[in-house]
């Protein structure tokens, strides 16, 4: 039995779940998300407990079992609390401005870099920090990764865009002659 897949999901008050043939819709105070039904899995809602079971014990079915449960749990957490990722911008002359859907960044290039977030994701600029938030965990992570890819942190001085909890391993510069 999958360690993740066998755990039930507690559905908080204010969240409604509709189980369909091809997708499961999770609606809550922050919005609505739909999760596709994975093959060889069955989702049942009894009261305020959501459980995922699988049809057989094949390796592929076991993998889909854990994935289905994780996707549903992320959808329930997203429509109740939401998700956010923080990015820090380090570097002399680097600047951030904007918020909402659009931000403009000066990242040491000859031109300013503009980024527009997709629907469902909000960007907030606080000094040299970008906060990416939304209800879809995958989409929030993707937007954060795209912003980080604009100027990855370099290992000598740590200049660039990094996740707030990321540790940049520093390299020593040139040793010099004696």
Give me the chain's average pLDDT, please.
Answer: 91
CB atoms within 10 A of CB 65: 24
Q: pTM of the full predicted structure?
A: 0.88
Residue 38 falls within a domain, yes or no?
A: yes
Instruction: Please say if the pLDDT value at position 1 is more than 70.
Output: no
At 19-28, the pLDDT tens digits run 998 999 999 9
Cβ(19)–Cβ(9) under 8 Å?
no
- CA atoms within 13 Å, Cβ hemisphere of 139: 15
Residue 71 sits in a domain of what CATH number?
3.90.930.12
Q: Are residues 71 and 92 in the same domain?
A: no
At 133-150, the pLDDT tens digits run 999 999 999 999 999 999
The better pLDDT of the pair 171, 2 is held by 171
Q: What is the span of the domain harbouring residue 118?
A: 83-163
At 152-163, the pLDDT tens digits run 999 998 899 999
pLDDT of residue 2: 63
Instruction: Please say if the pLDDT value at position 5 is more than 90.
Output: no
Cβ(86)–Cβ(129) under 8 Å?
yes
Question: How far lies 33's CA from each of 45, 65, 115, 160, in Å?
Answer: 17, 19, 24, 33
Q: How confident is the model at residue 100 (pLDDT cuts 50, 70, 90)?
A: confident
Beta pairing class for 129-134 and 83-90: antiparallel
Cβ(48)–Cβ(55) under 8 Å?
no
pLDDT of residue 150: 95
Domain C-terminal end among 19, 50, 80: 80
Q: Are residues 87 and 156 in the same domain?
A: yes
**Rounded to 5 degrees, what are φ and ψ at 65?**
-60, -50
Cα–Cα distance, 29 to 78 (Å, whole number): 10
Cβ(35)–Cβ(75) under 8 Å?
yes
Residue 39 falls within a domain, yes or no?
A: yes
Q: Are residues 20 and 50 in the same domain?
A: yes
Count the domains in the chain: 2
Q: Are residues 158 and 91 in the same domain?
A: yes
The two tokens of residue 87 are: 């990015």
């Amino acid at each position: 039995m999958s360690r993740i897949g066998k755990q039930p999901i507690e559905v908080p008050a204010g969240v409604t779940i509709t189980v369909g043939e091809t997708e499961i819709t999770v609606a809550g105070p922050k919005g609505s998300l739909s999760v596709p039904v994975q093959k060889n899995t069955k989702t049942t809602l009894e009261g305020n407990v959501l459980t995922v079971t699988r049809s057989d014990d094949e390796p592929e079915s076991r993998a889909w079992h854990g994935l289905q449960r994780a996707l549903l749990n992320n959808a329930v957490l997203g429509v109740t609390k939401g998700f956010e990722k923080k990015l820090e911008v380090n570097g002399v002359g680097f600047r951030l401005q904007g918020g909402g859907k659009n931000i403009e960044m000066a990242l040491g290039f000859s031109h300013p870099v503009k980024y527009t977030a997709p629907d469902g994701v909000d960007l907030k600029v606080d000094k040299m920090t970008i906060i990416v938030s939304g209800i879809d965990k995958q989409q929030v992570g993707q937007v954060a990764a795209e912003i980080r890819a604009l100027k990855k942190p370099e290992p000598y001085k740590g200049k660039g865009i990094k996740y707030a909890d990321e540790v940049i391993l520093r390299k020593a510069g040139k040793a010099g002659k004696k």
